[in-house]
Amino acid sequence: MPTPGAGLKVRSMTIGILALQGAVQDHERVFARLGASCRQVRTIADLDGLSGIILPGGESTVMSMYLREYALDDAIRACVAGGMPIFGFCAGAILLCSEVDGPGGRVPGALSLIEARATRNAYGRQNASFEEELETNLGPFPGIFIRAPRLEPLGSSKIVGRRRPEHGGEAVFLRQGKVLAASFHPELSGDDRIHRLFVELCAPA
């Protein structure tokens, strides 16, 4: 049970959701359930005073193009360097990785905030979407994958969630300090534990 004090902290925080492209509203609904306010982020000014920021699923190539066009890439990197937590889901996770496998080989990631390699659309076209139970540090978690990338930790990122051994056991949820990346979509699962973890990370000490 959250204490009343913790509730007050949650109510006073604003979580930004990058809203250049992609599935913004599903995250807004989860944060509303948890009592945290959200702000859609489209410009550098929208980053002002945020407690944390979400990079939603969508299309990573389109999002990275807009990030550069609006100079949000440098601005977001500066916020994270200043201690702001960030969480990327699926395409958003791709934007965070230091290496991305693309048709031309490995390229530096758009934001490069977590030491990890993303391989886009790694689970094939036919079988691009699937659901299965995952093993995470929070316990079993319903995994919903939509044209998901494969995520591999490099350097000091840690695995906090993976597929079950019978499904290959690969990483699906990584963390390096206050940077989190998940290849699946907890916002569609009805299970709010992963968003709650992020809210706790964003709460002022």
The minimum distance between CB 19 and ligand GLN, in angstroms, equals 14
Closer of 59 and 191 to ligand GLN (Cβ): 59
SS3 195: helix
Locus of tokens 């031309």 = 104
Extract long-range pairs of 58-61: CB within 8 Å, 24+ residues apart.
58/21, 58/22, 58/23, 58/90, 58/91, 58/92, 59/21, 59/22, 59/91, 60/91, 60/92, 60/94, 60/95, 60/100, 60/110, 60/120, 60/149
- Minimum CB distance to ligand GLN, residue 89 (Å): 7
The contact set with ligand GLN (CB under 6 A) reads 57-60, 90-91, 94, 120-121, 146-147
Could you give the residue numbers annotated as active site?
Answer: 90, 185, 187
| CA-angle at 73, arms to 28 and 55, nearest 5° | 25
Residue 204 CB, nearest distance to ligand GLN (Å)?
A: 30
Residue the block writes with tokens 């993303």: 118
CB of 57 to ligand GLN, least distance (A): 3
For residues 91 and 116, which CB has a smaller minimum distance to ligand GLN in the complex? 91
Q: Which is nearer to ligand GLN, 67 or 91 (CB)?
A: 91
- Residue 52 or 56: the one with the smaller Cβ distance to ligand GLN is 56
